Amino acid sequence: MKNMRILSWDEFDYCIQSISVLYDSQEFSGVYGFPRGGLCLAVAVSHSLRIPLLNEPKPNALVVDDVYDTGLTLNQVRKIPDIKAFVWLSKVEPKWWNALEISNSEEWFVFPWEAQEFAMKDKEDFQKMRSKI
């Protein structure tokens, strides 16, 4: 599929390892992941760093998400004191968050926990929602 990248569990593991190495020496109140994609990352990071999985973002938390696209999701936590934010993939150059990889803004990602057969529908739904912003 054009402009569609299928991500693997090995790439997911590499992302978790990268987050863990980057933040291993820091102390956090816990890790929060935005539902859907961020939650998968947060559970794995919680285990890797041995920190609590949070139900909501809190001060001094590590906040993770799968992709930074429009900024609407991650910007919700920007003003929470002392948070660190990390995304697997960012479609823009990171400013106040960290990213494992910066990607083409037109690229659509299918994460390992997503059903590939629904990727086109997910993309269309996202584009419709984005056009209303």
11-20, 41-50, 103-112, 114-123: least confidently modelled range: 114-123
44 vs 11, 20, 40, 57, 87, CA distance in Å?
13, 10, 7, 17, 14
Question: In the chain, what percentage of residues exceed pLDDT 70?
Answer: 88
Highest mean pLDDT among 22-26, 116-120, 123-127: 22-26
pLDDT band, residue 113 (cuts 50/70/90): confident
Give the number of other Cβ atoms within 10 Å of residue 32's Cβ: 27
Per residue in 56-103, pLDDT tens? 999 999 999 999 988 989 999 999 999 999 999 999 999 999 999 999
**Average pLDDT for 1-19:** 89
Burial of 82 (0-12, 13-18, 19+ CB in 10 A): exposed
**CATH ID of 4-131, from 3.40.50.2020, 3.40.630.40, 3.90.1150.10, 3.40.50.1980:** 3.40.50.2020
Place of tokens 């933040």: 23
3-class DSSP state of 79: coil
User: Tokens representing 120?
Assistant: 């086109």
The structural domains of the chain, with segments of one domain joined by +, span: 4-131
